[in-house]
Amino acid sequence: MTSNSKSEQLSTHSVRQLINEKRSSKSLVHVMGKIIPGILFVFAFVSVFTTVGIIYTLFSETIEFFQRVSFVDFFTGTTLRPLSQNPEFGILPLINGTLLSTLIAILVAGPIGIMAAIYLSEYASERLRKKLKPMLEVLAGIPTIVYGFFAFTFVTPIIRAVWPSVEATNILSPGIVMGIMIIPMVASLSEDAMNSVPNSMREGALALGATKLEVTFKVIIPAAISGIIASFVLAISRAIGETMIVTIASGSSKNVGFDVTESMQTMTAFIVEVSSGDAAAGTTIYYSIYAVAMTLFVMTLCMNLLARYISRKFREEY
């Protein structure tokens, strides 16, 4: 057999081998192409099923509660005494404490967060920004129970040293610490919104003689307002749902009012108090935690829907 015929046989064999390998790889890709969508569907279904399960549990147990307690009394009552001989289940003290602590938190996080975002976006160099932003976001990774003890053992004594009438547990201290906790959310999301504004707008304003500060407040912030507002709304939603800080530092008094020096209880703190107490399953106080949780769920859901609406309504596309 000549060398040419041998080389032809070898080339034919290698070609067939390549064809077989190609076919096998194609079949494998075809099989994977059928399997992977199914796997992704299972993961998506698990997420949806979990959400539906949570909502079903909240609704079913909340309905059981409102079969025992008047809907009107629950949402208009100003007295919450679930363990007394004549129990009352007015949720207004809890809503008052939740909204007041959230207001304090956003008053702390709003100015600091937006100023930090302005500095990172408009004034800091790229090298400095890469260092400062991760350092700022470290605050978001601190466990909330650490924030709670920080509020109780560090912030509260400082406040009482300056303001002696403040109670040992009060709503001011956890409100301030919650504000510190949500600063990264406001700063990071606002900075991303500002960075999305095209540089051509900055350069155009500077070319017209505007200062950097004027460009920031008259061009950049108005252009990024949808993202900034959305960051505030999401931060408020995060503060409303905070649990451990208020559980440790705000106390358990069911007060209605605006005195930040007093001890108050939030909705999440009430859920923790009842869940860790002696509330037997099937009792009215047991079902009350589901009614409070459902109220909290609706509030945070409305905040998230509001954030999405604002983002779409005022979004600027370039």
pLDDT at residue 122, as a whole number: 85
> Looking at 58-62, 196-200, 278-282, which range is the least confident one?
278-282
What does each C-alpha distance from 129 to 63, 139, 140 come to in angstroms? 51, 16, 17
146 located within any domain: yes
Token pair of 144 as six digits = 């909330």
Q: What is the pLDDT of residues 176-190, one digit of tens each?
A: 999 999 999 999 889
pLDDT at residue 234, as a whole number: 87
pLDDT at residue 87, as a whole number: 81
Q: Is 102 exposed, middle or buried (0-12, 13-18, 19+ CB in 10 A)?
A: buried
Q: Give the CATH number, domain containing residue 140.
A: 1.10.3720.10
Say yes or no: 14 and 163 in one domain. no
Cα distance between residue 157 and residue 151, in whole Å: 9
Cα distance between residue 112 and residue 114, in whole Å: 6
> Looking at 23-32, 93-102, 131-140, which range is the least confident one?
23-32
Residue whose structure tokens are 């080339």:
11
Name the average pLDDT for the chain: 84
Q: Looking at the predicted structure, is the pLDDT value of residue 107 above 90?
A: yes
| 3-class DSSP assignment, residue 88 | strand
Q: Looking at the predicted structure, is the pLDDT value of residue 307 above 50?
A: yes
Say yes or no: 157 and 268 in one domain. yes
Taking the whole predicted model, whether its pTM rises above 0.75 is answered as: yes
138 located within any domain: yes
274 located within any domain: yes
Give the domain extent around 99. 92-313
For the segment 284-313, the average pLDDT, to the nearest whole number, is 85
Beta bridge partners of 108: none
Cα distance between residue 107 and residue 144, in whole Å: 19
For the segment 72-98, the average pLDDT, to the nearest whole number, is 86
More confident: 272 or 11:
272
Token pair of 161 as six digits = 């040293």
pLDDT at residue 10, as a whole number: 44
Cα distance between residue 174 and residue 171, in whole Å: 6
On whether the CB atoms of residues 234 and 208 are closer than 8 A, the answer is no
74 located within any domain: no
Say yes or no: 32 and 164 in one domain. no
In total, how many domains does the chain have? Answer: 2
Say yes or no: 11 and 101 in one domain. no
Say yes or no: 170 and 39 in one domain. no
pLDDT at residue 278, as a whole number: 66
Q: What is the pLDDT of residues 218-247, one digit of tens each?
A: 888 888 888 888 889 889 988 998 888 999
Q: Establish how many alpha carbons lie within 13 A of residue 216's alpha carbon, considering only the half-sphere containing its beta carbon.
A: 15
Of the chain, the end-to-end C-alpha distance in Å amounts to 72
Q: What is the pLDDT of residues 53-70, one digit of tens each?
A: 888 988 988 998 998 888
pLDDT at residue 4, as a whole number: 53
For the segment 154-165, the average pLDDT, to the nearest whole number, is 91
More confident: 1 or 62:
62
On whether the CB atoms of residues 189 and 118 are closer than 8 A, the answer is no
Read off the pLDDT band of 5 (50, 70, 90).
Answer: low
pLDDT at residue 22, as a whole number: 58
Amino acid at 72: V
Say yes or no: 25 and 143 in one domain. no
Say how many C-beta atoms besides its own lie within 10 A of residue 276's C-beta.
9
Q: Is 164 exposed, middle or buried (0-12, 13-18, 19+ CB in 10 A)?
A: exposed
Read off the pLDDT band of 282 (50, 70, 90).
Answer: confident
Cα distance between residue 20 and residue 163, in whole Å: 83
Q: What is the pLDDT of residues 33-58, one digit of tens each?
A: 678 787 888 888 888 888 888 889 88
70 located within any domain: no
Read off the pLDDT band of 16 (50, 70, 90).
Answer: low
Say yes or no: 158 and 216 in one domain. yes
75 located within any domain: no
Read off the pLDDT band of 7 (50, 70, 90).
Answer: low
Q: Looking at the predicted structure, is the pLDDT value of residue 315 above 60?
A: yes
